[in-house]
Structure formats: structure tokens, C-alpha cells
Amino acid sequence: ASVSVSVRVRVTVGFGALILVLVAVTIGAGIQTRRHQADLAELQEHSTMSSLLQTTEAQAGISAELLQRYVYTGEDLYISEINVHAAAAQSALTEALARGGHPDLPLVVSSGAELVQGASTVISLRQNGDEAGASAELERLAPIFREYRLQLEAMSASELDQVTKLRAQADEAGKIVFWLLVASGSGGAVVALVVSFWIARSIIKPLASLERTARKVSEGDLTARAAADVPREFAHLGSVLNEMMSAIEARTGDLREANRKLRSQNKELADVRIQAATDPLTGLGNHRSFHKTLRDEAAFAASQGAPLALIIIVLDGFKEVNDSLGHLAGDQLLREVAVALTRV
């Protein structure tokens, strides 16, 4: 009778410890998973906000370039495109404001509205034949537009910093969950081995089954499940282990899907950055990209003590092309020159 009691006590203590380890790991994994999900939700919000701000900057830049061309050429076909891109910029900015965002965002929205009103004035003056007045109004809007873009860039950079920070936090939470799983498998294996030496021969087999399952989990096999055809006492433990693994496997799938969506959003952000630095007509780097490249090359040349050269290409007879064939033909010529430059 004393041996029987001793075995029951050892079984109770041993498997009680194993259950406590598994429950603790499950609770810890659940807490880390919720933290990971919260970080991903906040990351997505900052990512969306950054995308909206970069879209605003890109669309506003395109609208400003088209407005400048319209003042110089007077071609009415530019007006509708100017309005479309300006409306897209304001739409993205309005959506960003509706989401909350940076505290200075209302000021940027106000500046955007002022720029839209100024653009309407420029178009009106140019349509009435007052090219000088339109140019003067355009010059007045230039510093406002420059400050507007600088504010958008600063806010977008701030949002991207938050995205980077939250991504690091999410990765850290994922690592913690992984090590909790490893600790669960290792701890369960150790406890199972200790208990197997304490109990009678008749229960060694179910213990060995639990041990094999725990080892598979520690090796990364989240599909491992405990056997069901075991004595009642061990069947309950196996059920708890299987439920835990099912929950962890489901959460791991959610984490993988969230990471896939995050990579997709990062690709979209990279595409928006490329568009923001590209001239919409030729596909070459725009004014902003040119100055950034020039600054980088100048700094590199200065640090290396090397000479630096800048080649300026002028298209002979380009004005005659515009005057004789129209500005659309001139635009096509610029695109073909851009393709030729790219090829060489």
C-alpha cells in the first residue's frame, strides 16, 4: 500500500509540475501573441499614414510641375491633369487627417488648401492672357509649396521611424514566443523523463509518447500531437497539450500571414518612394532626386579628394520642335531622349 501511495504522489507531483509548465508557457505565448498583434495593428496604421503622406507629396509635386508647364506654355490640356493630381493630393491628406496622425497635420492641410487656391488663381490669370501675373503668383507660392513638402517629408519620416520601431518590437515578441515553445518542449521532456523513473512499468509507454511529442515541438514541429489511446490520467494531459499546440499552431499561422502583409506594404512604400523621386514625363530622376544625387556625389568626391564633373545636355532645335509640331510632340521627344540616355 505504501508503494502504491508513493507512486500516486510521484505521478501527481510530476505531472502537476508538467501541467504548470505547459500552462505557464501557454499563458506567456498568449500574452506575447496579443502584444505582437497589437504592434502589427499599430505598425499598419503608421504604415498607412506614411503611405498617405508620401502619396500627397508625390501628387502635389506632379501637380506643381504641370502648373509650371502650363504657365510657360499656355496649353489648356494641362489644366485637367493639374486638378486631378491636386485633388488626389488633398484627398490623401484629408484621409490622413481623419486618421489622427501628426499634431501638425492640420497646418499642412491648411497650407494645401492655400496652394490649391493659389493654383486656381494662377490658372485663371494665365487663361486671361496675364502670363506675367501668373508667373508672379507662381513665384509667391514657391516658398509655401517648399515648406509644405518639407513638412510632409518630416511627418512621413516620423511615421516610418515608428514602423521600424514597431517591426523590431514585433520581431522580439515572435522570438519570445519561439523560445517559450522551446522551453515548453525541453521542460516537458525533462519532467517526463524524471517521472518515468519514478512510476511503474505500466505507464512508461504513455510517458514516452508525451516525451516524443514534446521533443518534436522543441524541434519546431507544431503539428505534433499526443496519442489519445492512453490511460485516462494521461489522456487528459495529452488533451491539454494538444489544445495548446493547436492554439500555438493557429497563432503561428496568423503571425506568418501578418508578416506577409507587412512585406507587401513595405514593397508598396518603396514603390511610392520611387514615384516621388521620378519625373512623370520621362521616368528619369526629378529635381529633388537630382539635387540629392549631386549632394551625395559632391560629398563623396570631397571625402576622397577626387575631382567631380557634371555633364549638362542641351537639345538643339527643341524649341523648333515645339513650335512646329506642338508640345505633345516635344514631350514625346523628351521621352525618347530619356530612353536613349538610360540605354547608354
The count of residues in the chain is 344
Cell of 276: 516621388
Give the mean pLDDT of the chain: 79
Predicted confidence (pLDDT) at residue 31 exceeds the cutoff of 80: yes
| Residue 1: band (very low, low, confident or very high) from pLDDT cuts 50, 70, 90 | very low
Q: End-to-end CA distance of the chain, in Å?
A: 94
Please tell me the predicted confidence (pLDDT) of residue 306. Answer: 93
Contacts of residue 281, Cβ cutoff 8 Å, sequence gap at least 6: 331, 334, 335
Please tell me the predicted confidence (pLDDT) of residue 277. Answer: 78
Measured CA angle at 158 (ends 157, 161), to 5 deg: 85
Measured CA angle at 105 (ends 104, 111), to 5 deg: 100
Please tell me the predicted confidence (pLDDT) of residue 297. Answer: 95
**Phi and psi angles of residue 317, each rounded to the nearest 5 degrees, phi first:** 75, 15
Mean pLDDT, range 38-53, rounded to an integer? 78
| Residue 4: band (very low, low, confident or very high) from pLDDT cuts 50, 70, 90 | very low
Contact 229, 236 (CB under 8 A): no
Please tell me the predicted confidence (pLDDT) of residue 97. Answer: 79
Tell which wins on pLDDT, 204 or 60.
Answer: 60
SS (H, E, C) 138-177: HHHHHHHHHHHHHHHHHHHHHHHHHHHHHHHHHHHHHHHH
Mean pLDDT, range 321-343, rounded to an integer? 93
Contact 126, 74 (CB under 8 A): yes
Q: CB neighbours (10 Å) of residue 211?
A: 20
Residue 202 DSSP code: G
Please tell me the predicted confidence (pLDDT) of residue 293. Answer: 92
Please tell me the predicted confidence (pLDDT) of residue 334. Answer: 92
Question: CA-to-CA distance for 293 and 303, rounded, in angstroms?
Answer: 15
Q: How far is CA 40 from the centre of its chain?
A: 10
Predicted confidence (pLDDT) at residue 196 exceeds the cutoff of 70: no
Contact 108, 93 (CB under 8 A): yes
- Residue corresponding to grid cell 492554439: 247
Question: CA-to-CA distance for 191 and 7, rounded, in angstroms?
Answer: 15
